[in-house]
Amino acid sequence: MSFPDQFYFVETTLREGEQFAGARFTSEQRVAIADAVDAFGVEYIELTSPAASPQSARDLAMIARRGLKARILTHIRCHMDDARLAVESGVNGANLLFATSEQLRQVSHGRTLDEIIERAVEVIAYLKSHGLEVRFSCEDSFRTPLPDLIRVYKAIDSLGVKRIGLADTVGVASPREVYNVLSAIRAEVSCDIEFHGHNDSGCAIANAFCAWEGGATHIDVTVLGIGERNGIASLGGMIARLAAIDPALVSRYNVEMLNEIDQMVAEMVGITIPFNSCITSPTAFTHKAGMHTKAVLADPRSYEILDPSMFGRTRTVAVAHRLVGWHAIAERARELGIYLSESQARAAAARIKALGDEHDIDGTTVDELLYEYAE
């Protein structure tokens, strides 16, 4: 397995994330998010275009002046009016987009590939003349024929942009397709490559990972994966995927902040952290089945590819249910400071299983039973 020597996160909660149905960030919330993901250690923070609204323009300029370690980007149309606003805002870079698939070209702008390239030449030259880092992205890349992508990207690469971007705008791509397309583009351009993948068909994290495998150097993420429709790859999900390969890959990030950041943004947009959210879900490190709990008590690595303590989390061995095993019961007794022999623990487990078949039980009930069996 071969990967680029370096990779960077483009954290876009303040652009893509603002397009989530429940998001309407105040100026104070935008600052709080920018400060948090900067402290986490992301390399880039992307914000909504200054052309979107007057407050968006003011907040973009304010955060650009904030002195954060991350490079501040704005996401704009490949249009001179937007480019001028980007320069005026004081950002470090501009992320340009232009729809290239036949579907979007027909309904969006009606331009040919030659006309797209001609417009890009003008806008990119202007931005570079003002010292901005430039990324050019073909919107709807994975419904754009590969020869068309290569044609556009080779022309853009020759202009000296920092990177080009491939966007799975509607979440149609599969991981294998992403890898193949990224690999083909990587062979044709010398600049960096950014990937932006939506989750419409459930492949956002897998696709982002395969983009990295195929040669992408920059991966777009948001907190909790929020974004247009059902969002893009999540910051926590990508951290989990990389840490599962080698924790050293994410050692430069303050990963113990993930839970705090996810909680903060979840409250801002009025949702709870999903049960299947990598790392930060309330159940992410909860073990329940008897066979699992026996093994994880003996060696956590048996059923944990990630160490919860790395992220400031703790594991939970659930005992108040009918699937409980006697090893988990014995461990809970030890936590309470009481001793159960194997026969006592087995008997207590059998009693709890029977109760669990009849109705829901809670931890208090289990603890009371354990004290009974210890007498």
Q: Which long-range contacts (CB under 8 A, 24 or more apart) does 348-353 make?
A: 348/373, 349/324, 349/325, 352/319, 352/320, 352/321, 352/322, 352/324, 353/322, 353/323, 353/324
Give the count of beta carbons closer than 10 Å to the beta carbon of residue 137. 26
What does the alpha-carbon distance between residue 200 and residue 369 come to, in Å, rounded to a whole number? Answer: 47
Give the count of beta carbons closer than 10 Å to the beta carbon of residue 281. 18
Query: Any idea what DSSP says for residue 298?
Result: H
Alpha-carbon separation of residue 247 from 227, 242, 252, 308 (angstroms): 27, 7, 10, 12
Active-site entry in 198, 218, 292, 327 = 292
What does the alpha-carbon distance between residue 132 and residue 94 come to, in Å, rounded to a whole number? Answer: 7
Q: Is 196 a catalytic residue?
A: no
Q: Which residues contact 372 (CB under 8 A, 6 or more apart)?
A: none
Maximal C-alpha separation, the chain? 84
Residues identified as active-site: 292
